[in-house]
Amino acid sequence: MPEGREERAKFRERLIEALRAHVRDVVAKRCALRLAILYGSFARGDWRPGSDADLLLVADGLPADARERWETFYASVMGVPVEPHAFTPEEFEEMVRRGRMTAADALTEGVVLYAEPSYLSRVLALFERAKEELGLVKLGSAWLRRRRRRHRGS
């Protein structure tokens, strides 16, 4: 792994391009992909030796079993393990509505590798609504709720 600041930045950019190609040439052929986002330390640029690349995938037609999803999409790109986090659109939208950290981090700090434009717009709008309803704020590496969700009809 590169050590100098400039070398790290160049490695990260090469990795992002290699991941884009991986998503296009491999992942998209295994499912009906709607969204692919690199998130976590490689997206932020604060990765360390041994870090994996967290890859959020949203697709139709995924296996029902989480282990099978992982086995379908796990890879190594440029010597970096790619940790797949694969969800159906319905699962991901529910994560967004509930303000789950994986969804929040991917949508705010992630690098979009592939997106159906209308789907990305939809989940970004859902996230903005969830942030408002839940009072989500990011402090350090954690997402916190500033207020409780109001029950409809109350």
pLDDT digits (tens, 9 = 90+) for 36-47: 999 999 999 999
Alpha carbons 133 and 150: distance in angstroms, whole number: 8
Alpha carbons 64 and 88: distance in angstroms, whole number: 9
103 assigned to some structural domain: yes
For residue 102, the domain's CATH number is 3.30.460.10
Question: What b/e string do you get for 22-39 counting C-beta neighbours within 10 Å, with b at 16 or more?
Answer: bbeeebeeebebbbbbbb
154 assigned to some structural domain: no
Question: What are the tokens at 68?
Answer: 């099978």
153 assigned to some structural domain: no
Angle CA 93–87–54, to nearest 5: 110
- pTM of the entire predicted model: 0.89
pLDDT digits (tens, 9 = 90+) for 87-112: 999 999 999 999 999 999 999 999 99
Domain count along the chain: 1
